[in-house]
Amino acid sequence: MPAAPSSTLTPSGVGPTPPSHAPRILFIGAGSQGHAYAAPITRNGLGTIVGICEPIPYKRQEFGGRYIWGKRPPLAHEQFLLWEDFINYELSRREAVKAGDIGEDDAQYKGVDAAFICVLDELHIKVVKALAPLGLHIMCEKPLATNLQDCVSIMSSVKREWQVLGRKTIFGIGHVLRYSPQNMMLRKLIREDKVIGDVVSLEHTEPVGWWHMAHSFVRGNWRRDDTTAPILLTKCCHDIDFLMWLLCSPASSTSADPPHVPSYIFSSGNLTHFRKARKPLGAGSATNCMSCPIQEKCAYSAKNIYVNKHFRKRDFDWPLKIVVPEIEDLYEEQGKEKAEQRILEVLAEDYTAETPESVVKSRPWFGRCVWECDNNVCDDQTVTLTWEDDPLSTTPAIDGEIVQLGDRAAKTAIFHMTAPTEKICERRGRIYGTEGELTYDEDYVSVYDFATDKSTRYRAKAGQGHGHGGGDDALAEHFCRAAQAVLSGEMEVELAQKTWLGCDLEEVVRSHVAVFFGEIARTGRTVVDWRKMWADMVEKPLA
């Protein structure tokens, strides 16, 4: 180990000092979602962020300056180019502690307790498997992995490492819809208070948003299912998890009841709009907005979206920060004109028929014509999940008494993801029950009672932050609280997991399985039998 520096550690200066047993946290990935979790942790004193792994220098320095070292120079063990570098460092640190070369409580070389994984989706499996043997509490951004086999493999590996370690660790996933105040209130009304009786059917819509679709799933990183995954996973896995949480999981996280799993899943969807057959004739042969004759009047003009809608309104966060990560510094240091010029330079980047496919696939092209991109993910898709009666007991009814199935009775959920919407990711839905009807969006829940012929409106207390209705902030808090409860000795891991996160690793995987079964149904134009497919694709690999 290198000699400890003579300077003492100082906090970044943002937010209150965390309590003594709050987790020391490593972040792997300094993108927008990393900031979405790091900001509330720092702002609310939920933990101490002590390290960042990020290959892009600007992102690494910005993240570290904001949450770790503030205005002082960073220490070597506070920043890593690659997550592998941290693994090597941590193994060396532990060997040094074991050998007595440094003390376990040496502030300069104290280890980390937890890690937030916020790298590209396809890297999750490598990072989770590398961290698991270290015994860290892990919060992985959604999705867990980009295919079903890897999700099952992660669960198997993590459980195996728990056995080797002789203890479990907290495991969280970025299914943030569970944690927004509005959705937590909604679930309580449905499952605990049963304000509409038992659920008969549910309709849930994810309006992606016209320009958000163009940014992320036509021009951006998630446009191809062969380089990332289908949009049902990358965009909507927490919507499917939301449905499974409402209708499949036991009403209480402390219940011993088994989940009421779906019986069948069907899905249909297509790439309907963002393809060459829809290209306006006036655009001619142009493949980039900067050279397109109809750029000024095209709704999907990259200049209109990034410059007019965001930059000129001084909105430097997502999505503009994805296009030019250093945009805010450019604006402050070199002025508006230079910053706008840099945006236009990035938007003008394009490829031709001669560009190697590997180069095209390796990066986003934010100025590319939306009808000339290499995207192939759906821009409109529906998924239908069907449940059959599933009594907890198969014992025949005594004296002809009717078995009361309650919320384990047959029901149906229909999920609809669509791109051409005014709203950007502001989910909405309607739930039909045996005693009433409920409608919801991100602001209100309205309940109509059949018996009283009256409607009641509910609104949850707004959570901090804007991401997913406050879900981003709430998930970061719940994960940190769970880790703190374990570190302080207040709770065993299983109790902390249930109390603060409300689900375990099996439930995380089950929600992902529902997504992959939906894609199997869509691409195979078939109806998936849950129990049969589960036995073949989940139980057999785990055996």
pLDDT confidence of residue 395: 54
pLDDT confidence of residue 200: 98
Do 218 and 324 lie in one domain? The reply is no
pLDDT tens by residue, 239-298: 999 999 999 999 887 788 899 999 999 999 999 999 999 999 999 999 999 999 999 999
Q: How confident is the model at residue 542 (pLDDT cuts 50, 70, 90)?
A: confident
Flag whether 366 is in a domain: no
Flag whether 123 is in a domain: yes
The arithmetic mean of pLDDT across residues 440-445, rounded, is 94
Residue whose token pair is 């990935």: 29
Q: Count CB neighbours of 532 within 10 A.
A: 9
Domain count, the chain: 3
The arithmetic mean of pLDDT across residues 445-474, rounded, is 86
Q: Is residue 404 over pLDDT 90?
A: no
Do 286 and 263 lie in one domain? The reply is no
Name all contacts of 473-476 with Cβ < 8 Å and 24+ positions apart.
Answer: 473/39, 473/40, 474/176, 474/179, 474/180, 474/181, 475/37, 475/139, 475/172, 475/174, 475/175, 475/176, 475/178, 475/179, 476/36, 476/37, 476/38, 476/40, 476/41, 476/46, 476/139
Backbone φ and ψ of 510, nearest 5°: -60, -40
22: amino acid identity, one letter: A
Q: How confident is the model at residue 81 (pLDDT cuts 50, 70, 90)?
A: very high
Do 496 and 517 lie in one domain? The reply is no
Do 386 and 479 lie in one domain? The reply is no
Flag whether 4 is in a domain: no
**Structural contact between residues 198 and 434, judged by C-beta atoms closer than 8 angstroms:** yes
| Percentage with pLDDT > 70 across the chain | 93
pLDDT confidence of residue 4: 33
pLDDT confidence of residue 465: 56
Do 209 and 75 lie in one domain? The reply is no
Do 447 and 385 lie in one domain? The reply is yes
pLDDT confidence of residue 402: 63
Q: Is residue 1 over pLDDT 60?
A: no
Q: Is residue 466 over pLDDT 70?
A: no
Q: Is residue 12 over pLDDT 70?
A: no
Smallest CA-to-CA distance from 542 within 491, 487, 503, 505 is with 505
Question: What residues make up the domain containing 66?
Answer: 24-174+473-501
Query: CA 411 → CA 386, 403, 439, 516, 522, distances in Å?
Result: 6, 16, 17, 21, 21
Flag whether 19 is in a domain: no
pLDDT confidence of residue 398: 56
| Percentage with pLDDT > 90 across the chain | 86
Give Rg (Cα) of the chain: 25
Do 399 and 347 lie in one domain? The reply is no
State the Cα torsion 391-395-398-400 to the nearest 10°. Answer: 60
Do 382 and 438 lie in one domain? The reply is yes
pLDDT confidence of residue 3: 34
The arithmetic mean of pLDDT across residues 481-500, rounded, is 97
Flag whether 211 is in a domain: yes
Do 299 and 399 lie in one domain? The reply is no
Q: What is the CATH number of the domain that holds 494?
A: 3.40.50.720
Q: How confident is the model at residue 102 (pLDDT cuts 50, 70, 90)?
A: confident
**Of 322, 337, 361, which residue is a domain's last?**
361
pLDDT confidence of residue 2: 33
Do 264 and 285 lie in one domain? The reply is no
Flag whether 285 is in a domain: yes
Q: Is residue 227 over pLDDT 70?
A: yes
Q: What is the CATH number of the domain that holds 205?
A: 3.30.360.10
Lowest mean pLDDT among 289-298, 391-400, 471-480: 391-400
**Structural contact between residues 253 and 502, judged by C-beta atoms closer than 8 angstroms:** yes
Do 353 and 382 lie in one domain? The reply is no
pLDDT confidence of residue 9: 35
Write out the two tokens for 222.
């998630």
Mean pLDDT, the chain, rounded, equals: 93
The arithmetic mean of pLDDT across residues 404-430, rounded, is 95
Do 187 and 169 lie in one domain? The reply is no
**Of 361, 395, 414, which residue is a domain's last?**
361
Flag whether 196 is in a domain: yes
The arithmetic mean of pLDDT across residues 374-389, rounded, is 97
pLDDT confidence of residue 396: 58
Flag whether 218 is in a domain: yes
**Of 337, 361, 385, which residue is a domain's last?**
361
pLDDT confidence of residue 16: 87
pLDDT tens by residue, 114-154: 999 999 999 999 999 999 999 999 999 999 999 999 999 99
Lowest mean pLDDT among 301-310, 323-332, 386-395: 386-395
